[in-house]
Structure formats: C-alpha cells, structure tokens
Amino acid sequence: MTKLEAVREFEHKAAERISASDRLEFHLTPLVGWMNDPNGFCYYDGAYHLFYQYHPYSTVWGPMHWGHAVSTDLLHWNYMPCALAPDTVADAAGCFSGSAVPMPDGRLLLMYTGVQPAGTGHKELQMQCIAAGNGRDFCKDQHNPVISTEQLPDGFHAVDFRDPKIWQEGGTYYSVIACRHEKHQGSVLLFESADGRQWKFVSVLDSSCGELGKMWECPDFFALDGMQVLLVSPQEMRATADSEFHAGEGTVALLGLYDPATHAFARQKVQAVDYGLDFYAPQTTLAPDGRRIMVAWMQSWATVPGTPCAGGKPWFGRMTLPRELTIKDGRLYQTPVREIETLWQGKTELSGVAVEERAALPGISGRSLDLTVRIDVDASPECRRFTLRFAEDAALYNEIRCDLDRCELAFDRSHGGSRRDIPHTRHIKAAPQNGKLTLRLILDKDCAELFVNNGERVLSAVLDTPLEAQGITFGADGGPVNLDIVQYTLA
C-alpha cells in the first residue's frame, strides 16, 4: 500500500467518527486532523476546489499532505480523498503550500513546494513540484522538482523558497514564489513556462528590506479594478504606531501597477489584509462570473500553541468565509461572498433604536448569524463610546468597542473564556463614512468575522467561548447612541 493509499484509508475511517454537529456550519474544517494554509483554490469542472495543508494523523502540525474539498456555493463543502502525500524523493519531507490551474487538455495542474531533507546539520531544501490529474487523483511529474536551486537568481537559496501561485495568461504559465534573499529578506520571484514543466526565472517583483517583516510566504498576484495586487504573508513583522500592522506573522496587500512587457511591479500602497487575531496565508481565485474571491487560514501561528481542539474535537483549523475583493479609492475592500444570502433566515430589523444603558434587544442573539449594526454618529452627538458584546452569558463575553471621538475600534476576546496567554485584542482605525459607522458581524459557532464600513477593514478571530453563550448586548458611554440593526439567522 502506498502512502497515499494508506492516508486515504485512514481518513475515511477516522472521518466516520466525526458527526456533522461537531463541525462548523459554513466554514471549511479538515476532514480529520490538522489544517493550515489554503492551497490550490480554483474553479474546475463546474465546482470550486479548495486544497489545504493537512496532517491527517494528528491535530498538531506534522508532515504535510494536501487535503481536498469541493463546493458549488463556497459554503457547503464535500470532502474529497487526500490529494497529495509526501511519497517521492522530491517531497519526502512534505508537500508544502501551492496552487492549481486548469490545463488546456482538461486536467487540473497542481504546483506545490516539495521539501527534501538536506542531510545532517543542514536545513531542508524547498523546491517546486507539479502533479496533474482529473480533480480527484493526481500523478506527480517524474521530473520533479521542476524549479530547483539552479534556476534561482544570485543571492537566493532554496532553504526558504516556497508557496508557488500559478496561473495561465495568453498561453503562458506564470508563477509567483516566495524566497528569502540573503540581503533583502522576503522577496517574491516571478517565473514563466510554456508547458508548466520547463520554467525560467523572469524577475523579482518586490522585496522587503525589513520594513515588512523578514521571510514572505504564500504570495498571490492578480489584476483587480485597474490595479495589480500582490498579497504576501510576512514573518516577524514589527507593529506600527498607526495600528496598521501588528507584531509577528501578518498579511499584507501591496497595491500598484504592473508592466507585463518588462514584468516590473511598482508598489503604490501598502495595507493589511486582515486586522484580526486569526488570519494567515490568503489565496484567491477568479470565479466564473468575474469575481475575485479570497479565502485564508482562520488561525495564526501566534495562537496555535496550546489551542484546544474546540472542546476535544478530532480536527484542528478552519478556513475563513470566502470573501469578494474590490478596490475602492485605492484601497482593498472585502465583503462576504454574496452566496451567504442563501443562508439568511429569521430576519430581525430594528430601526432608530436609542441605546444608553447596556441592554439586550428583542430578537438579537445567537451564534450562527449575520448581524449588521449601523451607528448613526451624527445623530448621537453625546455618545463617546459604543460597545457591542456577543457570545455572552452571565460570566463571559467578547466585545467590540468603538471610540467615536478617536475614530478607533477595538476587538477584544480577553473575557471570552480563554485560559491561554496569547493575543486577545486588536485595535484599528474606524472613521464614520457619511456620518455612519457600519459593523457587520458574521458568527459561525466559534468563528467571528467583523467587516467594518462595508469591508474597508476586516477582523477575524476564533473564540474560546462555549456555544451556550448566545447573548448579544449593546451599550453606550456619554450619551445615547442611535442604531439601525438587521440580523439574519444563518442556517
């Protein structure tokens, strides 16, 4: 029995012991075991395919495989058998992150980082491999790795060379790959190929000289609304005074212009992708209707240590709700995929509500919901601070605090029941738009995603609060706050 056959047999038996009630409602979790980075997000043969970094044998990180799920609506996922296992010389130490693209002959091409042991006293080597198949079973190329140390420009090395994002344009395959330069730290390299097998280096698209972390991971590169977007996930970021970036691992969007003739990218704007506590390694795909859709690992390496497996569940990790990307006024915006409206049930709408003392409002509660709160700042001149508590009971709560004077927002889960010494609070800028501050909170059991001002900023977090905590309350300091509220139960 091969390694892939063995893992498929194992996951089939192990998954039978996991009931649907043990999983989230509309966020993808691993079939069994451990999940991290999304891989191979694409639309192929009438469905969305989402692969993921996967250790099926444990709920902690281990030798990386590729898990696999498919969906027609981005909300309900059907599990497929494990797609890749570390079973060749080229990937003996792991099948690391990568991507996928449909081929002209009808097959699906996977491009991933194969990790090879480098011998005693040396780091592992990371090189790029491919596998092609029918969307379920994939055959690794006999010439793997297809991009190795010999194809790297001077100053780069295959010790940190990973996470290819492949696409096809004008009959040519392109791939952006993260690599560490001996001087410039994190960089993104561009390669091209006529057939997906023979690759050559084209250019260095962008680099960090330490100002945006050190090693960059999981790049993505695409055109959007007249600009070019380069997504990276830097390691060892420094926090900035304006709260744009927090310390540690982060996610960064570099917006600029790209010249396809010279393969030069000119960065014009830098912003965080997600400002929350649990978000890393985003990857995008182009939907058949032209939408650019992004998904990410809803976790952070800073919050992994000691994380309970959601009350002892036999899986760890989850993906964010897929999001639609747009650019407005030179800034990247994100909104939940519109498919979520198919889950809307039980609408509760409250208009012109004045809240001062902390209060629960009729019909507003739950842990699987889509809640929009519009704060009429102009109509609340005396209110200094607004607070929204959710996943609340008599002892526990998670809180969103809006300082209306300073135009700042805090997301705080420190009172939500966690017993771990990990980050629990994030602060962001949050100014009203046309006199109103809009908060859209989507809850799926222990997942919380907050979209501020129609996606101008987004915060993602995993909650440690028991599901029995269903309460939602509102409060104001200084004077009453005027609110418009719409809640849909999601089912």
Catalytic (active-site) positions:
37
Q: Which residue has the tokens 């005693």?
A: 120
Q: What is the DSSP string of 418-441?
A: --S-S--EEEEE---BTTEEEEEE
* Gap between the Cα atoms of 90 and 141, Å rounded: 10
Q: Identify the three-state secondary structure at position 276.
A: coil
Structure tokens at 175: 């791939």
Nearest to 50 by CA among 74, 14, 18: 74
Give the chain's end-to-end CA distance (angstroms, integer). Answer: 41
* Gap between the Cα atoms of 143 and 130, Å rounded: 9
What φ, ψ does residue 116 adopt, rounded to 5°? -115, 135
User: Left, alpha or beta for 59 (phi > 0: left; psi -120 to 50: alpha)?
Assistant: alpha
Structure tokens at 360: 């629960």
* Gap between the Cα atoms of 325 and 452, Å rounded: 14
* Gap between the Cα atoms of 177 and 204, Å rounded: 10
Contacts of 434 (CB under 8 A, 6+ apart): none
Structure tokens at 162: 């990973």
**Which strand ranges, in their side-by-side order, compose the sheet holding 199-207?**
156-169, 172-181, 185-193, 199-207
Contacts of 116 (CB under 8 A, 6+ apart): 89, 90, 91, 92, 93, 124, 125, 126, 127
Structure tokens at 373: 């709160």
Nearest to 474 by CA among 372, 360, 362, 393: 360
Contacts of 244 (CB under 8 A, 6+ apart): 271, 272
Taking a C-beta distance cutoff of 8 angstroms, is the pair 334, 451 a contact?
A: yes
Which residues in 13-27 are b (16+ Cβ under 10 Å) and which e? ebbeebeeeebbbbb
**Which strand ranges, in their side-by-side order, compose the sheet holding 264-272?**
216-224, 227-234, 252-259, 264-272
List beta partners, residue 189.
Answer: 177, 204
